[in-house]
Structure 1
Amino acid sequence: DLHHRFSDTVKRWWPDKGTFDYYTALADHDRILHGRHLNQTLTFYEGNATISAGSLHYALVSLGTPNVTFLVALDTGSDLFWVPCDCKQCAPDIEFNIYSPNRSSTSKRVPCSNKLCQSKCTGASNCPYTVAYMSANTSSSGILIEDVMYLTTEDEAVDAQIVFGCGQVQSGLFLDGAAPNGLFGLGMGKTSVPSILSTAGLTADSFSMCFGQDGLGRIIFGDKGSLDQEETPFNPRPLYNVSVTGLRVGTSTDTNFSAIVDSGTSLTSLADPAYTHLSESFNSQVQDNRDPKIPFEYCYYINPNENSTMIPNVSLTMKGGGQFSVFVPIAVVAQYVYCLAVVKSSDLNIIGQNFMTGHRIVFDREKSVLGWKKFDCYDVENSTTLPLNPRNSSPAAAVGPNSYTPEA
């Protein structure tokens, strides 16, 4: 007999869903199944699977000697990677691992003289860090540490020396369940792990993330995507900022704006005039009755006697002409109730996880372009990569009007 790995028959051999052991088993399974097909790129040693939980995608990362594993949130909107460490104020009742430099034989404290130290300290003292995030009163602070992060190619393990934050004090949403086991910054800054890996010559300066509609995904360092993907240039800003030249809703096309592409934001947020054009065009083409009692602004009641309902197609035209289809613009929030899953913003336009669902997104920092392609995250496809040593249906995001937005 054939059984899905989460069927009742198989569950007796799998840890309970949502536990740390569950995510470890899931990543191990995927690493065995797919790892041998990867090109000369780098993935986490624990596997390249990412898991959607709440408003963020998470991956398993191993650090130190002996190695300790962390379930970290992946955030393209910030740079520094940090984990809870020698905690003075960390997430309460945490059941995950805590890092301590004194327990790792390969750990080194980063001095103020290190080029990655961005504090105004001097000399050989420990380099302190503080990162404040956009979400209200949310921050992490501590000291910088250098230690081993365990990665793998298709053929061999790679012990990469990286610099990360020993997060001793967290505040705000980090104390309320957001990223309780650490935040993995994937931004453009020199302290981000993609920057450190490419500077060390371990990978190309590029990485990809795939967002599946089942909540699972992939992350691959050094992946430059495929020759047939769509691309648009990044704007010269510190974040992954792109220009949208058209917003199409059904038969209506209008407006242009710039937006940040951010894996750390669950629901796309738009400021006017883009928000008004999208929401009013969507509303004018929906045939279901609007339900005003839901926290989202535009929600609709599905007639239970109808076999199906018509949802207007939504797509973005990017600078250069590439078409970015939004496969799941809605969130089903209750039985027979769905909402346009876009939040109105006062200033920033952010393309969040829900708009990226169903795509492989390539953050190619060498070419300074964003690439994308409709993709099944379980498919394996040849990608344009560099060798190890180049010198030789429903959205996966949480369906709530308030998204965690951790850009620094």
Structure 2
Amino acid sequence: MAHSSCLALALAVAAVLAMAAVEVSGLGFDLHHRYSPIVQRWAEERGHAGVSWPAGAEVIGSPEYYSALSRHDHALFARRGLAQGDGLVTFADGNITLRLDGSLHYAEVAVGTPNTTFLVALDTGSDLFWVPCDCKQCAPLGNLTAVDGGGGPELRQYSPSKSSTSKTVTCTNNLCDQPNACATATSSCPYAVRYAMANTSSSGELVEDVLYLTREKGAAAGAAVRTPVVFGCGQMQTGSFLDGAAADGLMGLGMEKVSVPSILASTGVVKSDSFSMCFSKDGLGRINFGDTGSADQSETPFIVKSSHSYYNISITSMSVGDKNLPLGFYAIADSGTSFTYLNDPAYTAYTTNFNVQISERRANFSGSTRSGPFPFEYCYSLSPDQTTVELPIVSLTTNGGAVFPVTSPVYPIAAQMTNGEIRIIGYCLAVIKSDLPIDIIGQNFMTGLKVVFNREKSVLGWQKFDCYKDEKMTDDGSSVGSPSPSPGPTTHVFPQPQESDSPVGRTPIPGAAPVPRSSSAAAGGRAGFRLLSSMALLLLAAAAAAVF
């Protein structure tokens, strides 16, 4: 059997949560996973504690935790209607990203003069950026405290009349898609976005105002960029938006011209209508607006299948260890989905061929799940002293022949013993049989890669990448230009699991530049901010699971 080098299953949660908004080459931008302590605190202060932490999911890495993530994915599918310049710029320093129901990450962004701060959901499956504004019906407002280890900003409505840089978007604007609803050509352009999930919608008027960004690279790294963008003044929210799903707004990263990436490209803030996401193996990552990747990256074209502007690609075959599986199917590349979802015959072919190449015994962890069905079918137990595991190499061959490597096909399972000790007791193949007529390549398949969503060339690009050093990696896992490791399997020792309620503060990544607090204006650039993915939050469990 062909196997990869030994894979470390445990991830240090507290160390990851403490990583701050710093970039190796400039400013960074924090994103926080839905079930992080920061999101829990934010949700409790806004009266949405039940949305943030379902029963049993508050202990990270437990079967309940994975069940809650699976429910999040299905809520996201429903909301989307699937169920049945030069260089990089980023959001201004101090902006933070969080995620609640229906979204995997949130970003704290600032708009207007003086600026108003919002925690907006990031969504690659929609287009419009909107925030609560002159509210007739919005989610409850509150005060966010101690988000970054100190006092947080007050969360409030945006009001065009209180911003000196706000401008009306009239019905003649090319971003107005409802001109027939206008009384006159000079009227404010109305918008209405309706989602399939539980009568969820946002409506109001389009406005133009400044969004605060910072340049990430080059001589002006860290310089502030105030760029005008068109977004929704969300006066009326309904459904799940009133209960914590995008309570402070939503930023669409889709392909349409009204999305923030499209606006940044069309106004020249970035040179290319493209953005990249980089997910490191410890769960941290970055998103860079304007990034087209490198000339030697792998690429496959987007496939337009319907009116939905999703990032569809074509898979022609799968490789699992020594088995090549000639399967053809379309899939959505979606970093906002926690796991990867496959339909048959791809699901059965992948899981059964993976299973026969695993030496550990099958395990059943579903018995301790209280927050919903346990999502994974193929799980395995570890012996008490086992710290490493060998896995078959997994890859996808895409339309055009480019190979998409899957560097993190499994999730670790941890349990708290009767003596209070927390131990890694097993792992699961992190693929779920889809109950939808679609296949989705989720965030877990993107770990260890920089994935480029190039809307200008209509291609998806990827490359093994070191998100810390901002450089590509060789196939053996070393940075380009660094000495290659000796042949043979590499042993990774499990880090000691950390408590999930560890203090969250702003600490620098080793070797990274500190975060300056720049206030000067600059033009042009590409954008980057940090991602905290579900991959970093898989260590702790509430109770010992049934291993056999």
- Name the counterpart of 1:191: 258
Q: Secondary structure at the match of 1:105?
A: coil
Higher relative contact order (CA 8 A, sep 6+): 2
2:289 counterpart of 1:212: no
CA contact (8 A) 1:76 1:186 kept: yes
Q: 2:315 aligns with which of 235, 244, 247?
A: 244
Q: Secondary structure at the match of 1:174?
A: helix
Change (3 A) 1:191 1:136: same
CA deviation string 1:305-334 (max 9, x = no partner) = 351334333221111222211222223344
What is the number of residues matched between the two proteins?
372
2:89 counterpart of 1:57: no
Gaps of 5+ in 2: 1-11, 29-84, 144-154, 416-424, 473-522, 527-531, 539-548
What is the CA distance between 1:131 and its match in structure 2?
2.0
Distance 2:390 2:195 in 1: 38
CA deviation string 1:172-200 (max 9, x = no partner) = 44344333332211111011011112112
CA contact (8 A) 1:49 1:218 kept: no
- Name the counterpart of 1:303: 382
Q: 1:113 aligns with which of 129, 147, 172?
A: 172
Q: Secondary structure at the match of 1:396?
A: helix
2:467 counterpart of 1:377: yes
2:419 counterpart of 1:347: no
Change (3 A) 1:315 1:397: farther
Q: 1:229 aligns with which of 297, 302, 308?
A: 297
What is the CA distance between 1:51 and its match in structure 2?
6.4
What is the CA distance between 1:397 and its match in structure 2?
7.5
Q: 1:66 aligns with which of 114, 125, 140?
A: 114
Distance 1:207 1:126 in 2: 30
Change (3 A) 1:86 1:217: farther
CA contact (8 A) 1:363 1:370 kept: yes
2:174 counterpart of 1:174: no
Deviates more, 1:88-97 or 1:49-58: 49-58
What is the CA distance between 1:166 and its match in structure 2?
1.8
CA contact (8 A) 1:267 1:397 kept: no
CA contact (8 A) 2:190 2:203 kept: yes
Change (3 A) 1:125 1:137: same
**Letter aligned with residue 111 of structure 2:** L
CA deviation string 1:257-280 (max 9, x = no partner) = 111112222222222222222233
CA contact (8 A) 1:206 1:366 kept: yes
Q: Secondary structure at the match of 2:192?
A: strand
Q: 1:144 aligns with which of 206, 226, 245?
A: 206
Q: Secondary structure at the match of 2:181?
A: coil
Change (3 A) 1:163 1:275: same
Distance 1:89 1:300 in 2: 45
CA contact (8 A) 1:82 1:165 kept: yes
Change (3 A) 1:118 1:215: same
**Letter aligned with residue 289 of structure 1:** R
- Name the counterpart of 1:91: 139
CA contact (8 A) 2:377 2:432 kept: no
Q: Secondary structure at the match of 1:371?
A: strand
Q: TM-score, normalised by structure 2?
A: 0.61
- Name the counterpart of 1:406: none
CA contact (8 A) 2:208 2:228 kept: yes
Change (3 A) 1:244 1:107: same
Distance 2:533 2:234 in 1: 34
Distance 1:333 1:93 in 2: 37
CA contact (8 A) 1:45 1:62 kept: yes
- Name the counterpart of 1:11: none
Residue identity over aligned pairs, in percent, reads 53
Deviates more, 1:330-339 or 1:69-78: 330-339
What is the CA distance between 1:79 and its match in structure 2?
0.8
CA contact (8 A) 2:210 2:226 kept: yes
Q: Secondary structure at the match of 1:145?
A: strand
CA contact (8 A) 1:71 1:181 kept: yes
Q: What RMSD in Å do the two structures reach over aligned CA positions?
A: 3.3
**Letter aligned with residue 362 of structure 2:** N
CA contact (8 A) 1:315 1:324 kept: yes
Distance 1:232 1:126 in 2: 40
Larger radius of gyration: 2
Distance 2:340 2:202 in 1: 24
Q: Secondary structure at the match of 1:207?
A: strand
Change (3 A) 1:71 1:212: farther
Change (3 A) 1:133 1:280: farther
Q: Secondary structure at the match of 2:294?
A: coil
- Name the counterpart of 1:330: 410
- Name the counterpart of 2:346: 274
What is the CA distance between 1:347 and its match in structure 2?
0.4
CA contact (8 A) 2:89 2:525 kept: no
Change (3 A) 1:97 1:266: farther
**Letter aligned with residue 230 of structure 1:** S
**Letter aligned with residue 160 of structure 1:** T
Gaps of 5+ in 1: 8-16, 400-408
Distance 2:86 2:340 in 1: 32
What is the CA distance between 1:301 and its match in structure 2?
4.3
**Letter aligned with residue 431 of structure 2:** V
**Letter aligned with residue 99 of structure 1:** Y
Report the structure, 1 or 2, having the larger strand content: 1
- Name the counterpart of 2:76: none
**Letter aligned with residue 348 of structure 2:** T
Q: Secondary structure at the match of 2:351?
A: helix
Q: 2:362 aligns with which of 282, 289, 304?
A: 289
- Name the counterpart of 2:511: none
Distance 2:140 2:126 in 1: 24
